[in-house]
Structure 1
């Protein structure tokens, strides 16, 4: 019965049989059949068709409310049992934006696994907005992202700082300069991260403070990953601003860093969880471990 209740709650929250079927990797008719089976067990109608979608009956609203209470209580019970026994095994699914996912988390997860060798991980990487949506949809246990998402259903905890530095290729016309300025940069091709990334949002906010936006620059390429930006800069497509965490020993990679007069791009990374929702015992332990690291020293 609990499985049917979980499925019902997912259908109500997603407002789509198709979306739930895709996430569970089953067919849409299978979801519909399960909903009918639940209604037959209860002897009442829970949902009815409304236009292209559906709505809850009065009985459906009552059942959903109690279902949420019961599922939350069950989750709390399992966590307390797990915490009391300290069974530190299983898989933790973490979401991350590109910089923490590619350059920071692997080291910390390796250290954490030394403490708990029976734990395994799944790491899903995407832009900050995409990963926040996965936290909200319960597709990951928690996440590390480059933007704040403090909402009714999500909460962010500061983890560490980051700074974006200007990089050009070794043969770029500006490579022999120690510093430049925003006006000069407007004459040269620029490479950007894609919309939705915390990286791009931080860059955009810094430009706004100077009365500028991306329309003032010659953007020739938008890329979906930090490595893609780095390789594009190295190949001569244009300059870009990159996280210092991603450019350690950058001079060995065919890149040159320049300072920009009166312009600094700083941002932070945050641990992201669902508000007022408990993590499993192992996920909570991993979250606390990362939270306690606070590695705020940036080295280049």
Structure 2
């Protein structure tokens, strides 16, 4: 059954029997036969087929969601059994929110690879809500998230703090202003923010509440890099992680805006779904906890 699930998931994700067959190193008729057998076992059609596409119907969407979870649990079970006899090795699926995943995690993975070359990590980047939900669905072994995400089914372990700073282009009027910036000045500015569900957006909303103001104009972008480029171009100002802007501050392409009460800090947490851990996951968690980022804000 696990082979049928894997074939079904691959067809659903590739939306094409030929591409799925190529990825699975099977013939297209064999893939079609597996899908037909699987649909008979389920008791209903799961895919809509035409000459141009293959896509999930309503029943297929239900089966796909649970198939991903089952395959994730099966892989985790197999790794736990393998670990009883083997040293740290094998696949490790890591999810991280944008700030940590793009600006901190690569350095930790590089160090882990030097010491444990048999561990094969895969990294998914998403906002806090997306990563937590993938861990909950057993599609990730571990997540690194920012901000708060309440769940009774997940284990959260705060491990690091990050400073949040308002930045502007060096040519922006606020960048050259002497002394503390007043709230009315902030309210008049165009604020460039991340999307809802992002930990950075949560921190920005917290700042707005802290200073009791609502910006006249907000632009919502789905990428920290895009926000940095836009701020540098003079489009507006933004609240960003110190981790994310260290390079730009050192190159003076972005400038810190001095605001009384800032920077403030936010916590990053390790999120897992089960206390049972593979040796590969144990090694990764040890690397995270012992890294300098886990001891002091950068």
Please report the TM-score for the alignment, with normalisation by the length of structure 1. Answer: 0.73
Measured after TM superposition, the shift of residue 248 of structure 1 is 1.6
Three-state SS of the structure 1 residue aligned to 2:246 is coil
In 2, are the aligned partners of 1:203 and 1:265 still within 8 Å (CA)? Answer: no
Equivalents in 1 of 2:285, 2:102: separation in Å?
18
Equivalents in 2 of 1:137, 1:20: separation in Å?
18
Q: 2:256 matched to 1:266?
A: no
Equivalents in 2 of 1:168, 1:259: separation in Å?
10
Equivalents in 2 of 1:265, 1:23: separation in Å?
42
Equivalents in 2 of 1:31, 1:48: separation in Å?
17
- 1:205 maps to 206
- 2:132 maps to 132
- 1:285 maps to 283
In 1, are the aligned partners of 2:170 and 2:252 still within 8 Å (CA)? Answer: no
Question: CA, structure 1 residues 83+286, in 2 after alignment: closer, same or farther (shift >3 Å)?
Answer: farther
Measured after TM superposition, the shift of residue 253 of structure 1 is 3.6
- 1:179 maps to 180
- 1:257 maps to 256
Task: Please list every run of 5 or more consecutive structure 1 residues that lacks an aligned counterpart in the other structure.
Answer: 8-16, 56-63
Question: CA, structure 1 residues 119+262, in 2 after alignment: closer, same or farther (shift >3 Å)?
Answer: closer
Whose strand fraction is larger, Structure 1's or Structure 2's? 1
Root-mean-square deviation over aligned CA pairs: 3.7
Please report the TM-score for the alignment, with normalisation by the length of structure 2. Answer: 0.74
Match of 2:238 among 237, 240, 243: 240
Question: CA, structure 1 residues 178+120, in 2 after alignment: closer, same or farther (shift >3 Å)?
Answer: farther
Question: CA, structure 1 residues 117+263, in 2 after alignment: closer, same or farther (shift >3 Å)?
Answer: closer
In 2, are the aligned partners of 1:271 and 1:291 still within 8 Å (CA)? Answer: no
Measured after TM superposition, the shift of residue 105 of structure 1 is 0.7
Equivalents in 1 of 2:157, 2:186: separation in Å?
35
- 1:121 maps to 121
Alignment of 1:88-99 (within 5 A): 88-99=88-99
